[in-house]
Homo-oligomer: A and B are copies of this chain.
Amino acid sequence: MTPSIRQLRALTAAVETGSFGRAALRLHLSQPALTVQIRELEQALGVSLFDRTARGAQPTAAGAALAESFGRILAELDAVVDGAREQAARRAGVVHLAVLPSVAATLLPGALARLKAAHPGIRVMLRDAVAKRVGALVKEGSAELGIGHATTPDPELSETPLFEDELVAVLPPDHPLAARPRLTLEELAATPLVLTDPESSLRALAEAAFASAGLAPRPAYEATYMSTAVALVRAGLGVGLLPASAMDLRVAPLLATRPVDSPLLRRRIVLLRRRGASLSPAAEALIEVLQPDD
């Protein structure tokens, strides 16, 4: 018994054009079809909306008032629908992303630049967190996507590999160990190291590699931010153990990097999403730019 959208449009068009025929034209309808819509609206409401004369239909007070209300409602509806379509077309939207700090500093800036170029209307709400938190944020839904590393499979999460990351030794070019093309865990364990925060997954990775070789590293310094760690290394305070991907940057010319002989220093960086939860168009766009070799 509530009027249909067609009837709302019919009334507003008829009042605005002042003629059933012109209103029908505007709505791409035949004039009888519009007449019927108006009549049924009148019956549904129990109010007469127009005074029909031989030279046009004059809206009654009720008709004019209703047309205005309906026009406002239709405009609101159209705005909402357009907004949804904008998001579907990736011209707008937000995606909440939880990401490891190491990745945020390396892979992400380029990806976000590509996203901005391809879809300028999409915003990314970034949250950096250690690996466990990344998974938790995605699971609880406060992040639609996560970038973490492969862990024990969680039934609620689905993982898609993004790239392989590797911890490499970072050291000043004039450091004694820089003479060797590759380093061993033993060599590293015997020298002062610059490591990251004990909470970080990079640190856990390093600890695990040393432990499996029966070694105990000598952390001389711990830094929360990678830029700090790099500065410490550059100051000659120790040898860093940092993601290879991070070393592509401006740091490179000033520091030497050397691979380390340990398969355990590798890790797979993966994209995390809630299993069974479909992705927003904005998230799909983000995923596309995260996989440059796709």
Contacts and interface: CB of A to CB of B under 8 A. Distances in A.
A48 interface: yes
A31 interface: no
A45 to B, nearest CB: 5
B88 A47 contact: yes
A135 to B, nearest CB: 19
Q: How many copies of the chain does the oligomer comprise? A: 2
Nearest to A61: B280
B85 A45 contact: yes
Contacts of A212: none
Interface residues of A, number: 37
Given A84-B66, A87-B47, A60 B2 contact: no
Provide the main secondary structure of the chain A interface: helix
Given A2-B77, A51-B277, A76-B76, A88 B45 contact: yes
A189 interface: no
B278 A60 contact: yes
A3 B6 CA distance: 10
Given A45-B81, A51-B277, 13 more contacts: A2-B81, A3-B77, A3-B81, A4-B6, A5-B5, A45-B85, A46-B89, A47-B88, A60-B277, A60-B280, A62-B87, A66-B80, A76-B76
28 contacts: A2-B78, A2-B81, A3-B77, A4-B4, A4-B6, A8-B77, A45-B81, A45-B84, A45-B88, A46-B84, A46-B85, A46-B89, A47-B85, A47-B87, A51-B276, A51-B277, A53-B276, A58-B277, A60-B277, A60-B278, A60-B280, A61-B144, A66-B84, A69-B80, A70-B80, A73-B73, A73-B76, A73-B77
A77 B84 CA distance: 20
Contacts of A81: 2-3, 45
A47 B91 CA distance: 13
Interface of A: 2-6, 8, 45-48, 51, 53, 58, 60-62, 66, 69-70, 72-73, 76-78, 80-81, 84-85, 87-89, 144, 276-278, 280-281
A93 B24 CA distance: 30
A58 to B, nearest CB: 7
Contacts of A144: 61
A197 to B, nearest CB: 32
A87 B73 CA distance: 20
